[in-house]
Structure formats: structure tokens, C-alpha cells
């Protein structure tokens, strides 16, 4: 599973430009489903047909990034964020454009406490505006450039949010022997800029049940924000976040399945942020929805950390769900 994580997290795929990562995922899952297709917004949808409940799982394929807004006479690039970025986590980091061009993020003079994206720039080594424009253009998107690292039970990489959710769905498909349900595994587009792909995919699929797979924050680092989620303590079953209150029947079912199958789990109350479940549950007349979350430290930085034991428990919980009759929802 670590090789799969490495392959996905090191891939290029900022919001709106998910094609490289969804093409890879399509090749990985095509032999385990009845059909794979990409919709008009760029969502990759893997459909395993069944006669039971129509279940939509959604893990977003996109990642945070930056977009070039201006190139000055000396070849420095001004940029804007694509998704949520903290300027302090950007300074000194490298970025990679789709064509392979590498740059480093620097800042103007001033105090770090006053740092803002409009006071920062990308240096691609160009010595003039002309040279810079031979490498990049206004409107080009870049991702944070950082390699995967294996620390044992814990692994680090950029875009664990939410390639690790994609890994959970891919692994579940690989291991799934049988389910009576009609299963849609969605690798959604543009989650980082407003849950956009999940919204259109859910409208088309019209599921009976929606489950997002995404990372969540933890409260287990020194003087962290108080939160009852820790690395290595199991799959996190979402109770609520800023985008959704998990349907009580969905929450109770996930808890029961975890306990019945001896799957390590913890309950997640996220005070801010959201997942694809926030879009899915508001589709048409409403969809009972929830989320299985992967605990993650340092979210929206170049070095997001997860525990592979938590990932494994999330896979087991997805499999337990699709093999349950789900008679109460």
C-alpha cells in the first residue's frame, strides 16, 4: 500500500487539473469494476453494479496549489492560492508546474507576522520576463513539490489530502469480493475550491447513501488545538464538521460495523472545514451522508502525515459497509 500512496501523492493534480491523477487511478481500478468513466466536470467514477442500495463513496483527487497571476520584468512570478494555503507554510517551499518547471517561493522584506500571499513570489531561476515566459504563462497552475517519505507506521507526503482517501477506495475495490449494493466510487474534482465535483456527481448518481473519504485534523501534537482524534487510533467516524452533520443512522451504522468487525475507530468532531459529504447530503431532496476520515497531521502543508494502520482500518470499514444489508437507511 505504501507504493500506491507514494505514486498518488507525488502526482500532479491541482483543482481543475486532475487528469494526470485520475488517469492513473482509472488504470488501477478498471479491472475491479463494471465501468469507469469521467464526467463533464472531471470526476472519475468507477461503478460496480448491484441491485441493493445505491452507495456513493467520494474521495477528492485534487490538491491545493497556486496559479500565476503576473510575471515581472525580472522574471519573478506573482501568484494566487488554489484552495486553502497559509503563507507561513509556503515560504522556502518548492512548486512544480505541469510541464516540470520548478520554482521556490520567496517573500518581500517585512515581518513574518505580516506575511501575505500578495507579498510573495515564485523564483523559477529566470533572469528576465522573456526567459520566464518561455517556461510558464499567466494562468499556469503549480503544486507543492515534495517527495514521499516512509517513516515506518507513519508516512509523509504532500497531497495526503486527499490522495490517501483515494488510496482507501482503491484498496477497498481491490479487496472486495462481493456486494449486493450498487457502488459508485467517485474520485472527485475541485473539492479544494468548494466541493464542486461531488456536487455534480451526486446529482447525476442520485445515491441512497453518501460517504466521503477524506483527512481530518488531529489533536495529538504538542499544545495542539483540543480535538479527540489521534494518529494510530483508528478510522475516524465523522459526527460533524462545518459542512455536514452526519445523519444519525449513518453514524450509528458505521460505529456498529466498526465494533462488530473489531475495527479500531474514533469519533471526529471537526470544528471547521468540510468534505464532499457537505455537497452530497444536499443533493436533490437530500441524501443520508457521513464520512470516514483518515487522521492527518500538518494538513494543507508540504508534509502531511498519516498512519498506515489508520488507513488500513478505513479500508476495513468501507468493506464492512458495502457488505452490510444497510436495512436501516
Give the torsion sign (CA, 290, 30, 82, 88). Answer: positive
Same domain, 185 and 287: yes
Alpha-carbon separation of residue 57 from 114, 263, 314 (angstroms): 41, 19, 12
Domain membership flag for residue 116 = yes
Range 192-206 average pLDDT: 97
Same domain, 86 and 32: no
Contacts of 209 (CB under 8 A, 6+ apart): 53, 54, 55, 56, 250, 287, 288, 289, 326, 329
DSSP helix/strand/coil, 173: helix
Q: Shortest CA distance to 105 belongs to which of 82, 85, 124, 122? A: 122
Same domain, 42 and 80: no
Give the CATH number of the domain where residue 35 resides: 3.40.630.10
Same domain, 213 and 284: yes
Q: What kind and span of H or E run contains 103?
A: strand 102-107
Same domain, 52 and 76: no
Domain membership flag for residue 149 = no
Kindly state the DSSP code that residue 276 receives in the 8-state scheme: T
Active site residue 304: no
Same domain, 28 and 111: no
Alpha-carbon span 276 to 313, nearest angstrom: 20
Range 128-132 average pLDDT: 98
Give the CATH number of the domain where residue 127 resides: 2.40.30.40
Of the listed 18, 63, 171, 191, which one is catalytic?
191
Burial of 236 (0-12, 13-18, 19+ CB in 10 A): buried
Task: Give the distance from CA 301 to its chain's centroid.
Answer: 13
Domain membership flag for residue 150 = no
Task: Give the distance from CA 30 to its chain's centroid.
Answer: 21
Q: pLDDT tens digits, residue range 156-193?
A: 999 999 999 999 999 999 999 989 999 999 999 999 99
Q: pLDDT tens digits, residue range 254-292?
A: 999 999 999 999 999 999 999 999 999 999 999 999 999
Last residue of a domain, one of 144, 172, 192: 144
Same domain, 43 and 171: yes
329 pLDDT above the threshold of 90: no
Asked if omega into 196 is within 30° of 0 (cis), the reply is no
Same domain, 166 and 136: no
Alpha-carbon separation of residue 169 from 226, 251, 271, 294, 318 (angstroms): 29, 19, 25, 12, 8
Q: Shortest CA distance to 191 belongs to which of 201, 183, 181? A: 201
Using an 8 Å Cβ cutoff, are 216 and 295 in contact? Answer: yes
Domain membership flag for residue 305 = yes
317 pLDDT above the threshold of 90: yes
Q: Give the CB-side neighbour count of residue 317, counting CA atoms within 13 A.
A: 36
Last residue of a domain, one of 144, 172, 188: 144
Q: pLDDT tens digits, residue range 233-253?
A: 999 999 999 999 999 999 999
Same domain, 259 and 172: yes
Model confidence pTM above 0.85? yes
pLDDT at 189: 98
pLDDT at 155: 98
Same domain, 170 and 247: yes
pLDDT at 205: 98
* Domain region containing 89: 65-144
pLDDT-derived band at 113, boundaries 50, 70, 90: confident
Same domain, 107 and 129: yes
Q: pLDDT tens digits, residue range 26-35?
A: 999 999 999 9
Domain membership flag for residue 153 = no
Domain membership flag for residue 151 = no
Domain membership flag for residue 195 = yes
pLDDT at 328: 85
Q: What is the DSSP string of 191-220?
A: GGGTSHHHHHHHHHH--SEEEEEEEE--S-
Same domain, 31 and 69: no
Last residue of a domain, one of 119, 144, 169: 144
Domain membership flag for residue 8 = yes
pLDDT at 63: 98
Structural domains in the chain (count): 2
Long-range contacts of 36-43 (CB under 8 A, 24+ apart): 39/200, 39/201, 39/204, 40/200, 41/189, 41/190, 41/196, 41/197, 41/200, 41/201, 42/16, 42/18, 42/189, 42/190, 42/197, 43/186, 43/187, 43/188, 43/189, 43/197, 43/198, 43/200, 43/201
Alpha-carbon span 227 to 270, nearest angstrom: 8
Amino acid at each position: 500500500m505504501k507504493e500506491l500512496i507514494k505514486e498518488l501523492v507525488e502526482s500532479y493534480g491541482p483543482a481543475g487539473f486532475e487528469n494526470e491523477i485520475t488517469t492513473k487511478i482509472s488504470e488501477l481500478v478498471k479491472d475491479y469494476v463494471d465501468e469507469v468513466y469521467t464526467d463533464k466536470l472531471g470526476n472519475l467514477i468507477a461503478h460496480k453494479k448491484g441491485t441493493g442500495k445505491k452507495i456513493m463513496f467520494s474521495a477528492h483527487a485534487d490538491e491545493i496549489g497556486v496559479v500565476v497571476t503576473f510575471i515581472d520584468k525580472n522574471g519573478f512570478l506573482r501568484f494566487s492560492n488554489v484552495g486553502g494555503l497559509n503563507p507561513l507554510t509556503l515560504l522556502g517551499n518548492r512548486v512544480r508546474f505541469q510541464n516540470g518547471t520548478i520554482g521556490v517561493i520567496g517573500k518581500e522584506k517585512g515581518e513574518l507576522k505580516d506575511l501575505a500571499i500578495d507579498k510573495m513570489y515564485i523564483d523559477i531561476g529566470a533572469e528576465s520576463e522573456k526567459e520566464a515566459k518561455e517556461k510558464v504563462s499567466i494562468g499556469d497552475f503549480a503544486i507543492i513539490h515534495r517527495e514521499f517519505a516512509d517513516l515506518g507506521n507513519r508516512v509523509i507526503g504532500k497531497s495526503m489530502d486527499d490522495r490517501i482517501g483515494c488510496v482507501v477506495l482503491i484498496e477497498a475495490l481491490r479487496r472486495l469480493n462481493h456486494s449486493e449494493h450498487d457502488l459508485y466510487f467517485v474520485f472527485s474534482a475541485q473539492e479544494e475550491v468548494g466541493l464542486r465535483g461531488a456536487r455534480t456527481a451526486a446529482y447525476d448518481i442520485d445515491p441512497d447513501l453518501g460517504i466521503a473519504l477524506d483527512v481530518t485534523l488531529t489533536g495529538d501534537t504538542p499544545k495542539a488545538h483540543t480535538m479527540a482524534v489521534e494518529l494510530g487510533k483508528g478510522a475516524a467516524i465523522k459526527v460533524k464538521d462545518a459542512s455536514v452533520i452526519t445523519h444519525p443512522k449513518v453514524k450509528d451504522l458505521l460505529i456498529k460495523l466498526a465494533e462488530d468487525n473489531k475495527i479500531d475507530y474514533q469519533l471526529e468532531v471537526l470544528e471547521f472545514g468540510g468534505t464532499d459529504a457537505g455537497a452530497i447530503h444536499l443533493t436533490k431532496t437530500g441524501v443520508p451522508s457521513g464520512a470516514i476520515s483518515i487522521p492527518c497531521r500538518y494538513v494543507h502543508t508540504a508534509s502531511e502525515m498519516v498512519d498506515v494502520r489508520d488507513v488500513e482500518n478505513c479500508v476495513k470499514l468501507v468493506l464492512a459497509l458495502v457488505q452490510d444489508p444497510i436495512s436501516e437507511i
